């Protein structure tokens, strides 16, 4: 029993090192902001301009262009360590006055976990312009006397298609500079994302994006999706700070879409991703 507690404490310390490495100050209980959807992971998340079910975690304007009710499941395993796994679900329902979306995810294990619930609304003002907004409830728990912290965070974005095949997107996470529940802790990061993508003859989509918050250098991302045929897609991408390549593929069968991706962190190694979506 003593050895078990000792190893648990060692693992908690390693968890803290992981979050420090990822740019999160655990001492101030700042949760990471995860982007969901293995399709997007295969493109290194250069996806702020792509409408999709998983726009509910990337740019809520995109759910306005989801054509039918859809649900999805997502799983990822950070650096192939079970304690760093993330499980999520998402749903989007188009209505006559816009689309309603929701998402839920759980990241971590018993000694550290981050739970997030979000509800979104997206509205298309025309075939070429859409906007969306989302409210998230975040709860973060850290063992060893750190305790539990929570916050409500707003985010939103726009998408536009100014000319045929050209897609633009802008998104801001944490519009109100919200803090966690402890007033001594710093505000959560305000993250700005801007990007564009172009569709070449229905066979190739190429995207570029930049992401910036106040405390870190800008991240530049690029992705490419190859439509091999009507049911099979290949994807690749690259993001900076640190340099991290990504790879993935997806396939359609009936009303299902399955996506698999992998990224390679230069120090921490591989992370696999899997998503499954169903459209009614």
- Rounded to whole angstroms, what are the CA distances from 214 to 168, 177, 225, 252? 23, 11, 31, 39
pLDDT in tens, 30-72: 566 789 999 999 999 999 999 999 999 999 999 999 999 999 9
How much is the pTM?
Answer: 0.87
Contact 256/268 with Cβ under 8 angstroms?
Answer: no
The C-alpha atoms of residue 93 and residue 70 are separated, in whole angstroms, by: 7
Write down all domains in the chain, each with its CATH number in brackets: 47-273 (2.40.160.60)
pLDDT in tens, 214-271: 888 899 999 999 999 889 999 999 999 889 999 999 999 999 999 999 999 988 889 9
């Amino acid at each position: 029993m003593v050895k078990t507690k000792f190893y648990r404490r060692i693992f908690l310390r390693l968890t803290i090192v992981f979050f420090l490495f990822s740019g999160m100050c655990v001492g101030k209980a700042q949760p990471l902001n995860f982007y969901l959807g293995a399709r997007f992971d295969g493109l290194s998340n250069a996806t702020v301009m792509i409408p999709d079910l998983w726009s509910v975690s990337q740019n809520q304007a995109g759910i306005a262009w989801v054509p039918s009710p859809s649900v999805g499941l997502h799983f990822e395993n950070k650096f192939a360590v079970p304690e760093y796994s993330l499980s999520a679900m998402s749903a989007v329902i188009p209505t006559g006055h816009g689309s309603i979306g929701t998402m839920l995810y759980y990241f971590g294990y018993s000694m550290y976990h981050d739970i997030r619930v979000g509800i979104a609304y997206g509205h298309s003002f025309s075939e070429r312009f859409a906007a969306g907004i989302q409210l998230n409830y975040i709860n973060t728990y850290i063992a060893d006397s750190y305790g539990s912290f929570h916050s409500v965070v707003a985010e939103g974005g726009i998408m536009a298609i100014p000319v045929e095949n050209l897609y633009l997107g802008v998104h801001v996470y944490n519009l109100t500079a919200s803090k966690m529940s402890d007033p001594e802790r710093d505000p959560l990061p305000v993250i700005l994302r801007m990007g564009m993508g172009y569709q070449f003859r229905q066979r190739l989509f190429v995207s570029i994006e930049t992401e910036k918050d106040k405390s870190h250098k800008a991240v530049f991302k690029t992705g490419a999706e190859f439509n091999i045929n009507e049911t099979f897609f290949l994807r690749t991408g690259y993001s900076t700070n640190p340099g991290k390549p990504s790879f993935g593929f997806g396939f359609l069968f009936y009303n299902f879409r399955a996506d698999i991706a992998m990224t390679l962190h230069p120090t921490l190694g591989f992370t696999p991703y899997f998503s499954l979506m169903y459209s009614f």
